[in-house]
Structure 1
Amino acid sequence: MRVLVTGANGYLGRAVVAALETAGHEPIAMVHTAESSMHTATRVADVLDEGGLRQALDGVDAVCHLAGLTRTRKSAVEPLRYFRVNAGGTITLLAAIAAAEVPRIVFASTGSIYGTPERQPMTEDLPDAPQHPYAASKLAAELAIHAQAATGNLSAVILRLLNVAGGVDPDPTRLVPRALAAARDRSALEINGDGSTVRDYLHIADAAAAFVACVDNMPRLGKPTRYNIGSGHGTSILDVVAAVERVTGHHIRLVHRPPASEPAALISDPAKAIAELSWYPTHSDIEYIVRDTWHNLERPESRYR
């Protein structure tokens, strides 16, 4: 199947392109600029340019839509930009998909749409309660996909992911790369509060495999499906630090900052995806994630150009 991957030059996008190719599909990387370095067929387009999108969709059988803005805190400062790109870009893409008569889309969304539910792990039947513009813009995109699928002309899957980690992580602000950098440089690691905050860490290979599984198991037209994609296990900040110390053999000195205003725990329940997609998070043990990230951190040639 020929699959257009929007946001293909990003952290997750590159992994999805590689996973599709390994699975025997023909991925086409949609990038924002011609300068992007990809090792597969590439088409240049912007998610806000319907004409460019229609050209990028020529001959395509399905779309994995990953392009978008993802910074939670930045979304509070630039909410309109986030809605324009995440929601508006998805609507523009849907219009182009309809014009090109492409019948399938898999959308990368976020588990943060659930807000801060007391019940953990989070299942798909929880109500939506986005607490920042990033999550709200992704929910708006989901609603547009649902509405378009309801016309009977689109098969759609929405994947709500949480904390993707591992591999060649280009974001030094995320916890795992920060903790590894502190171990490597013998510097202090600043954390919020006492380190008890719990998150669900999903290896990037498992996240990419979920997109392939969806492409291989698309629902029938008019019946969009949503899956929570995560490890199903909670890992605290202190758990991550301990894993980094074991993997690197270096002690990390912690500096405790005031607690942040954030949920105490966010854990995804992937049971539905496991049951229906023949998918399983096989690489998402925190020690494996840390070891894999450390290995790539120590290989400068693996960094993105």
Structure 2
Amino acid sequence: MSWLVTGGAGYIGSHVVRALAAEGLEPVVLDDLSSGIEAFVPEGVPFVRGTLLDGDLIANTLEAHGVTGVVHVAGYKYAGVSVQRPLHTYEQNVTGTATLLEAMAGRGVDRIVFSSSAAVYGTPSTDLVTEDTAKSPESPYGESKLIGEWLLRDQGVATGLRHTSLRYFNVVGSGEPNLYDASPHNLFPLVFQALLDGRTPKIFGDDYGTPDGTCVRDYVHVADLAVSHAVAAKKLDAGERLETAYNLGSGAGVSVRQIMDAMAEATGIAFTPEIGPRRPGDPDRIVAEGVLAGRDLDWKMRHTLLEMVSSAWEARRSAE
């Protein structure tokens, strides 16, 4: 059985491709390489270069490879930048998802695992987010992910589409030494680049209501995340019932200062981070609960913080 992985040449998608293969599912990658890297696609895995806005290409790919399900990871993922590029964000994430679902319906592909985001919650009023926490996205990116979930829901009612959406916060680490996070906006690559350039990383505010005064956030290892995508795909194949959405969260979180300490230890570059002013809108703590995903999707935190940082650093150095 073949599973199409949209965005399968990207940082998260490439790990999902490997997790599917490890579970005996046959991945096929569709990626426009706008942020993905073709070398991230494993040898022997079919690769189709193209955009989700091309419905004919998607339909032909589904038919040519006998695709029975889709893991939809592709999308424009830069929440902050989406505020300046709302129309582009909606085109890529909403129109693209609708085009994908239309092609799936036309080819009788009736199961999908959707890479959603904790951005659907916005800034929650509680510091432990559950699947029932109110949805209040604060960026076009977060809104587009919530609309994506609605599209799956409505298509499920209309056509019987079997689906689940996986929501997560900060994805870090690497499952293989050559798969790295190339995002220009994420914390880990930004800190690594600063250290490689000889600059001192900065912490924005150290007077929050947390044990060490710095913000606490949810960081999860990309390989752990990929495992749960593959488990969800297998369960949809088996006709098992899944929740419409799951949080892939640590339940605990780590502080920015703890991240910086682990960075110094993993890289061997001693530094004391600069302390800058708070950024507007940064809450003290946001952490997601992962109980439902632990019950249904073999979700667990298999890596320590130091392992997350060390694996990410090793992979980043492979790009030099």
TM-score (norm 1): 0.91
Say if 2:51 is the partner of 1:46.
yes
Q: Where does residue 121 of structure 1 map in the other structure?
A: 128
Pick the aligned partner of 1:259 from 261, 278, 282: 278
TM-superposed CA distance for 1:252, in Å, is 1.7
TM-superposed CA distance for 1:215, in Å, is 0.5
TM-superposed CA distance for 1:277, in Å, is 1.9
Q: Where does residue 19 of structure 1 map in the other structure?
A: 19
TM-superposed CA distance for 1:125, in Å, is 0.9
1:208-256 per-position Cα deviation (integer Å, ceiling 9, x unaligned): 1111010011285997621001222211111100111222333223223
Q: Which amino acid aligns with 1:206?
A: D
CA distance in 2, matches of 1:130, 1:158: 16
Counterparts of 1:58-69 in structure 2, within 5 Å, are 58=63, 59-69=66-76
TM-superposed CA distance for 1:88, in Å, is 1.0
Q: Report how many residues are paired.
A: 300
CA distance in 2, matches of 1:113, 1:121: 14
Say if 2:4 is the partner of 1:4.
yes
Is the 8 Å Cα contact of residues 242 and 296 (structure 2) preserved in structure 1?
A: no
CA distance in 2, matches of 1:184, 1:44: 32
CA distance in 2, matches of 1:10, 1:263: 29
1:138-171 per-position Cα deviation (integer Å, ceiling 9, x unaligned): 1111111100011242100101111000122222
Pick the aligned partner of 2:192 from 173, 180, 186: 180
CA distance in 2, matches of 1:268, 1:51: 38
Q: Where does residue 209 of structure 2 map in the other structure?
A: none
Residue aligned with 1:210, SS: helix
Pick the aligned partner of 2:149 from 142, 157, 172: 142
CA distance in 1, matches of 2:164, 2:241: 11
Q: Where does residue 61 of structure 2 map in the other structure?
A: 56
Residue aligned with 1:159, SS: strand
TM-superposed CA distance for 1:193, in Å, is 1.9
Is the 8 Å Cα contact of residues 44 and 56 (structure 1) preserved in structure 2?
A: no
Pick the aligned partner of 1:215 from 233, 257, 260: 233
TM-superposed CA distance for 1:120, in Å, is 2.5
Pick the aligned partner of 1:205 from 220, 223, 233: 223
CA distance in 2, matches of 1:66, 1:159: 10
Q: Kindly tell me: are residues 33 and 236 of structure 1, through their superposed partners in 2, closer, same or farther at Cα, counting changes over 3 Å?
A: closer
Task: Select between 42-51 and 16-25 the one with higher mean Cα deviation.
Answer: 42-51
Q: Please, what is the CA RMSD of the aligned residues?
A: 2.2
Identify unmatched segments of 5+ residues in structure 1: none
CA distance in 1, matches of 2:148, 2:108: 19
TM-superposed CA distance for 1:280, in Å, is 1.9
CA distance in 1, matches of 2:258, 2:125: 21
Pick the aligned partner of 2:249 from 230, 248, 266: 230
Is the 8 Å Cα contact of residues 151 and 222 (structure 1) preserved in structure 2?
A: no
CA distance in 2, matches of 1:200, 1:33: 28
CA distance in 2, matches of 1:152, 1:224: 18
Matched-pair identity in %: 33
Q: Which amino acid aligns with 2:215?
A: T
Is the 8 Å Cα contact of residues 156 and 225 (structure 1) preserved in structure 2?
A: yes
CA distance in 2, matches of 1:205, 1:243: 19
Counterparts of 1:235-250 in structure 2, within 5 Å, are 235-250=254-269
TM-superposed CA distance for 1:180, in Å, is 3.5
Residue aligned with 1:180, SS: helix
Is the 8 Å Cα contact of residues 108 and 158 (structure 1) preserved in structure 2?
A: yes
Q: Which amino acid aligns with 1:259?
A: R
Q: Which amino acid aligns with 1:36?
A: E
Residue aligned with 1:265, SS: coil
Q: Kindly tell me: are residues 235 and 223 of structure 1, through their superposed partners in 2, closer, same or farther at Cα, counting changes over 3 Å?
A: closer
Q: Kindly tell me: are residues 176 and 277 of structure 1, through their superposed partners in 2, closer, same or farther at Cα, counting changes over 3 Å?
A: same
Is the 8 Å Cα contact of residues 183 and 244 (structure 1) preserved in structure 2?
A: no
Residue aligned with 1:230, SS: coil
TM-superposed CA distance for 1:173, in Å, is 3.8
CA distance in 2, matches of 1:146, 1:175: 32
Is the 8 Å Cα contact of residues 161 and 230 (structure 1) preserved in structure 2?
A: yes
Q: Where does residue 153 of structure 1 map in the other structure?
A: 160
Is the 8 Å Cα contact of residues 54 and 100 (structure 1) preserved in structure 2?
A: yes
CA distance in 2, matches of 1:222, 1:51: 31
CA distance in 1, matches of 2:192, 2:81: 24
Say if 2:102 is the partner of 1:95.
yes
CA distance in 2, matches of 1:257, 1:186: 18
